[in-house]
A = this chain, B = another copy of it.
């Protein structure tokens, strides 16, 4: 019997627009996932479906082989931190913590108090009076302190300054080490989470484009630089996902095996980092030629 979340042939349409198309994915226990994709690719819709806030047009989602739909016992193990502000503006932060404790039956108050201090949050403030960054911080603290074992973080660092982002990344690693659970993180600051995520899912225009480990992805990603004509002839027949030119020099980005072709002296081959790989993988045709 499979454990974890299993998404089978999931599609979602709004009016006549297809947002997600035949998604098949697994989220295993105790793993940190990066859920990456361009603005409007369908990431938030996918997270909404997994947490049963919206419903699929086709397909189904299972957890430990049981349907998640309307299954409170399963959904109590999931927590979605979303961009949408669900909290009443007048409610004080402390009260929100208590509300969550009531709802989930459990809440790590000690850790929440620690995080309040570390982030410099005034927990007697009304939620609606906080800046964008601090509203995100409240949602983050709740997400890290609920007893759920599958935590979905949609844009967890929206509006956070560099110091606060740093604190969040460190806390994530620490709390994950102490109590391993699954985190699915959707963010546009890929560089910053690249070292945290073990598995990468890339959604492009409503379809799964990549579903692999970070390690495997980087191992198969190359930046090949050198004189334009030499680079062009070297990469011919390879899976070139993007390129940039500077005068007579060219960088070609290749995803996939390089085979055994001989490497000319004048070119350099390096692995791309995750952000570079991702930008090139998800770039639309029409903007690709537009690169600096």
| Contact surface of A with B, Cβ cutoff 8 Å | 37-40, 44, 83, 118, 120, 130-134, 137, 155, 158-167, 170, 188-190, 275, 278-279, 282-284, 287, 290, 292
Name the distance in Å between A236's Cβ and chain B's nearest Cβ: 26
A118 to chain B: which residues have CB within 8 Å? 287, 290
| B164 with A190: CB separation less than 8 A | no
| A134 with B279: CB separation less than 8 A | no
| Contacts A131-B44, A287-B118 given; does A158 touch B159 at CB 8 Å | yes
A164 to chain B: which residues have CB within 8 Å? 38-39
| B162 with A155: CB separation less than 8 A | no
| Contacts A39-B137, A163-B282, A163-B283 given; does A292 touch B158 at CB 8 Å | no
User: Can you spell out 20 A-B residue pairs with CB atoms less than 8 angstroms apart?
Assistant: A37-B161, A38-B164, A39-B131, A39-B133, A39-B159, A40-B130, A40-B131, A83-B132, A83-B159, A118-B287, A118-B290, A120-B284, A133-B188, A160-B188, A161-B188, A162-B190, A162-B279, A166-B279, A167-B287, A189-B189
A275 touches which of B38, B162, B275 (Cβ 8 Å):
B162
